[in-house]
Amino acid sequence: MDFDYTEEQQLLEDSVSKFLEKNYTFEQRRQIVASRVGYSPTAWEGLANLGLLGLPIPQDRDGFGGGGVETMIVMEAFGRHLVVEPYLGTVVMAASCIATAGTDEQKQYLLPPIMEGRMRFACAFTEGGGRYDLDHVETTARMDDGQWVINGAKSVVMHGAVADLLIVSARTSGAVTDRNGISLFFVHPAEEGVSGREYPTYDGNRAAEIGFENVRVSGDSLIGAADRGLPLLELIVDRAIAALCAEAVGCMKVLNDTTLEYLKTRQQFGVPIGRFQVLQHRMVDMVMQYEQAKSMALLAAVKVDDADPVERRKAVSAAKELIGRAGRHISQQAIQLHGGMGMTDELNVGHYVKRLTAIDTLFGDADHHLDRFAQAESAQPLNVAAFERPRSKWRKI
């Protein structure tokens, strides 16, 4: 099997890497993280100019038309530079959600500003009592006089405070943990009844707790068909997980390279510590873990767009489980081989370790995905035709 990138994919990798090397150094990132908004509007504009904000959007909508492998290329580069822009929520999740299940009016109204960098999204899918289960939805939505009324709360909404629009999962029928009865909605964060609290996460990103109290949104705010949102939700989250696996691989690459360079230069007893055989063995183990992780990330990237939800779920969960363990191993070894300075704020090693730790818990840790892999046969097929329905004229949300 040929694992080499195509010429177009290689050009994509080169352009992303060059842009980040120039505009996203470690010191520049430190300033971005310390800023008021927690991301760089200049970098975001640069990503738009490169066409990266339209990566999952089909070419007939003026997008890049990329799939899982192209997303992997971009996210792996983001991992090497610890990018904190709201790319995952806006592009990987929201844009692909709209492109997959949005109406023509929704696509026409929302996709162009995403590609141009004028609109950012956040996805509010997780709740305090749900842990990693997407079908645990206590937030409710009911129809009242032609509008949806939403009540509930969402937790750990990444970049929720800087989002121009939210995608919210809510229960429109059934019990709290039923797989049927879940719907997705667009909600403007400035809508009356929406409240929130922003906070920094330990990996340099920012998240928010968001509440909804009798929030009224138009009937056109519904994404797809009512009660049938879970298969779409699982597809979007699987795409996000595959992207996070690629980002983790980028983080591991930097940790390995940094640790190897340190072993070559740090001297003890008059020789580089890399001469000591036991440290060489530990370095080899780190490289092996990285290679396995990269192979699994590539498998997830290839399978994430598979029409068979069972194959998609197995590949994504297998990758997330292995990469979670590999990231933990590489992180621990990198810190130990650097000694006490490995966790200082001045050295980049600790920052990569924090990001890998956060990636391990996002959308399910290794234990969760081991169970999910075992239960993959219960995945529901995604029938795009089921989302099609008559629509009234699009109104602003």
* 378 confidence band (pLDDT: 50, 70, 90): low
Q: What is the 3-state secondary structure (H, E, C) of the chain?
A: CCCCCCHHHHHHHHHHHHHHHHHCCHHHHHHHHHCCCCCCHHHHHHHHHCCHHHCCCCHHHCCCCCCHHHHHHHHHHHHHHCCCCCHHHHHHHHHHHHHHHCCHHHHHHHHHHHHCCCCCEEEECCCCCCCCCCCCCCCEEEEECCEEEEEEEEEEEECHHHCCEEEEEEECCCCCCCCCCEEEEEECCCCCCEEEEEEECCCCCEEEEEEEEEEEEEHHHEECCCCECHHHHHHHHHHHHHHHHHHHHHHHHHHHHHHHHHHHHCEECCEEHHHCHHHHHHHHHHHHHHHHHHHHHHHHHHHCCCCCHHHHHHHHHHHHHHHHHHHHHHHHHHHHHHHHHHHCCCCCHHHHHHHHHHHHHCCCCHHHHHHHHHCHHHCCCCCHHHHCCCCCCCCCC
Q: Whole-prediction pTM value?
A: 0.93
* 379 confidence band (pLDDT: 50, 70, 90): low
| pLDDT digit string, tens, across residues 158-185 | 999 999 999 999 999 999 999 999 999 9
| pLDDT digit string, tens, across residues 110-131 | 999 999 999 999 999 999 888 8
pLDDT above 90 (res 329): yes
Residue 340 is predicted with a pLDDT of: 78
Residue 1 is predicted with a pLDDT of: 55
Structural domains of the chain, ranges and CATH numbers in brackets: 7-119 (1.10.540.10), 122-226 (2.40.110.10), 231-378 (1.20.140.10)
| pLDDT digit string, tens, across residues 213-224 | 999 999 999 999
pLDDT above 90 (res 315): yes
